[in-house]
Structure 1
Amino acid sequence: KALRALCDQHGIVLIADEIQTGFGRTGRMFAMEHSGVEPDLMTVAKSLAGGFPLAGVVGKAQIMDAPAPGGLGGTYAASPIGCAAGLAVLEALEKERLPDRANHIGSLITTRLRKLAGQHDCIGDVRGLGAMVAMELVKDGKPGQPDAGLTSELVQAAARNGLILLSCGRHKNVVRFLVALTASDALVNEGLDILERTLGELRGTPAARQRQA
């Protein structure tokens, strides 16, 4: 809201990047809805067409209508297949209530991860909105000590066990979870079971660590 006020004060266009967060991922149609702030322009892609090549910019009429007719365009714009996929995605979002599904998936994941954090002090933080969740790995249970090494080991070991994880973050110590909103609870839990088992292989189970102590 402070950024919106600053942009309004100085006549700056506020652009929201909703390419990854848009179309239900965070439990709302668009992530900006969580803040109650209305951007001037918004970029969209990815989930817009369920993975098919399609992207767009939407915004306020005074900006979008400013170019003369034909002033904006692209060689491969408006692909019929991508547009058809986009229409199907919009129908599925409404029919299957996928933003609500995102909240359910996010709750399922964060509940399991926070329980896992109680068993492994290397998990320094679990956070997210809807089905966009992050788990931060740290050294010796200290939030200010990122553990990029363990994160890399976890990603590689999980892949060997049949689970693909994505790492990210400034310090390369964050594992992010971007589960498809159409995934079943059983599939999500299967992935989390593999994650729990893999972390136990790398760090030892709570019972094993207690015996060593």
Structure 2
Amino acid sequence: MLYTIYLVEDEVSLNQLICSYLQREGWNVISFKDGEEARRAITQEPHLWILDIMLPGIDGYQLIREIRKANESIPVIFISARDSDLDRINGLELGSDDYLAKPFQTRELIIRVSKLLERVYGKALHTQSAAPIAQDEYPPYTIDRQARIVRENSGKEVELTSKEFDLLDYFVSHAGLVVQREHILNEVWGRDYFGSDRVVDDLIWRLRKKMPELRLETLYGLGYRLVKR
């Protein structure tokens, strides 16, 4: 048996991003884009809810009230762009177990989810999660995450800097998804980075030059997408 997590997030790109990270941990993820859709699934009782506060129609506060009426013990994590003490207090009063302000590093959310699930359900269920994938194939390249090495089919190593490898790893992990520049900054440079967002474009240019077979698309006004092989 694996954890089932219900995610409610109306920003499509962020919804897809969070889903991909949760699924890589081996968890079953069902996502919703609005509160009304999520409300109809309350009786299904997943292991965990992740709720955005600001949603079209029914907001996260209304949802958690109904979730708590159906089941008082299901853990809930709030995520919100409104990083105020009042929002945190309101969330706690309504029964949330944690609160994470946007923008956040997705890895931080994963850690919080993992610890909360372990605390609520114990280690026995938690240990059935899948191990992270250590190696990926993106022909003609092989990406070894453990050794942080990229090789071509011929065996020749592609010389990448540490940050170039981090960016490549991010794109390969989210192949087929449209990712925004701000999300790349948060995940590769960290939420404490305060420099120009043009560093993303510069690093992508260098990555394309070193790995010409990498099908990395620029979607103007949207972001970037690595085409799946």
Q: Normalised by the size of structure 1, how large is the TM-score?
A: 0.30
Task: Report the TM-score when normalising by structure 2.
Answer: 0.29
Which structure carries more strand by proportion?
2
